Amino acid sequence: MGKKTALVVMAAGIGSRYGGGIKQMDPLGPSGEIMMDYSIFDALEAGFDKVVFIIRRDLDKDFRELIGDKISRTVETAYAYQELANLPEGFSVPEGRTKPWGTGQAILSARDVISEPFCVINADDYYGKNGYRILHEALISGEDTGAGGIQNIYMAGFVLGNTLSENGGVTRGLVSLSGDGSLVGIRETKNIVKTADGAAVQEGETLMPLDPGKLVSMNMWGLYPSFLEKLESGFSAFLREPGQDLMTREYLLPTIIDGLVAEGGASVKVLRTQDSWFGVTYREDRDAVRGKLAELIAAGVYKTPLF
């Protein structure tokens, strides 16, 4: 029997660009499926055999009724709650802060329910099937640490041109690679828009072209439980950094991993996928996503209902 592997779904986001609604719970498939249904289906098909949901505690009842109870009939499930006050010992929430601390804290909040290699995804993104396959294969064939105790990490690398919205700018982690396909660095870049020529960063009226073939991070990572130790120590260091605005600053996975690579503490293998991403970054994306899912169902890629 091979290694047990988990899919970790980050579903605690508020969805500010989506009009304040809980976009992760928006029905998009013809039988009321939400985006997570498709992600979980693809991950189970790829070989993952546990699902961890990271959610807001106030959504627990609704979340279980909508998706959690259904999924638990198919696969082992666990829950973690991202909470503002979930901080290392000796730290407290700054007065006036209302938003949790970002994706790094989200994963850290699940440390008590993760003991196996795991794949991290956003709840409101469709990644396609290949990313789950290549990450699962890498996790079960690899080891958590390499020579000198360097942390091994895997990242699904998406082609920028396959990840853009028709309805506005998106933020993507632009990836720099070494000759062997390892990550050199990630540059979080905001307001990337789709253009007639491919892609560009929009600053006011100015468009700065980008290569649509460039690889980007879509927050789809393959990680080992030992990474949680680095997250924990890094979070304390993050909170201690002088001169930082702790009212708004976030502890984000791409920034954390980029820092580990820069200091020689991690090696990240970027695994290219040609699959097209789509998601509900904006409320206007809903109809396009429903249309794409309908096409996939008509082509026999998915059944409906899924579970």
Q: How many domains are there within the chain?
A: 1
Question: pLDDT-based confidence at 192, cuts 50/70/90?
Answer: very high
Q: What is the pLDDT of residue 134?
A: 98
In a domain, 180, yes or no: yes
In a domain, 170, yes or no: yes
CATH number at residue 215: 3.90.550.10
In a domain, 225, yes or no: yes
In a domain, 1, yes or no: no
pTM: 0.93
Tell me: pLDDT of 116 over 90: yes
Which tens digits make up the pLDDT trace of 223-277? 999 999 999 999 999 999 988 888 989 999 999 999 999 999 999 999 999 999 9
In a domain, 229, yes or no: yes
40/22: higher pLDDT:
40
Tell me: pLDDT of 21 over 80: no
Q: What is the pLDDT of residue 234?
A: 95
Tell me: pLDDT of 44 over 90: yes
In a domain, 135, yes or no: yes
In a domain, 304, yes or no: no
Question: pLDDT-based confidence at 1, cuts 50/70/90?
Answer: very low
| 3-state helix/strand/coil string of the chain | CCCCCEEEEECCCCCHHHCCCCHHHCCCCCCCCCHHHHHHHHHHHHCCCEEEEEECHHHHHHHHHHHHHHHHCCCEEEEEECCCCCCCCCCCCCCCCCCCCCHHHHHHCCHHHCCCCEEEEECCEECCCHHHHHHHHHHHHCCCECHHHCEEEEEEEEEHHHCCCCCCCEEEEEEEECCCCEEEEEEEEEEEEEECCEEEEEECCEEEEECCCCEEEEEEEEECCCHHHHHHHHHHHHHHCCCCCCCCCCCCHHHHHHHHHHCCCEEEEEEEECCCCEECCCCCHHHHHHHHHHHHHHCCCCCCCCC
In a domain, 149, yes or no: yes
Which tens digits make up the pLDDT trace of 155-183? 999 999 999 988 889 999 999 999 998 99
Question: pLDDT-based confidence at 18, cuts 50/70/90?
Answer: very low
Among 103-107, 244-248, 285-289, the range of highest mean pLDDT: 103-107
Domain containing 251 equals: 6-298
303/280: higher pLDDT:
303
Rounded mean pLDDT of 88-105? 93
Average model confidence (pLDDT) for the chain? 92
35/24: higher pLDDT:
35
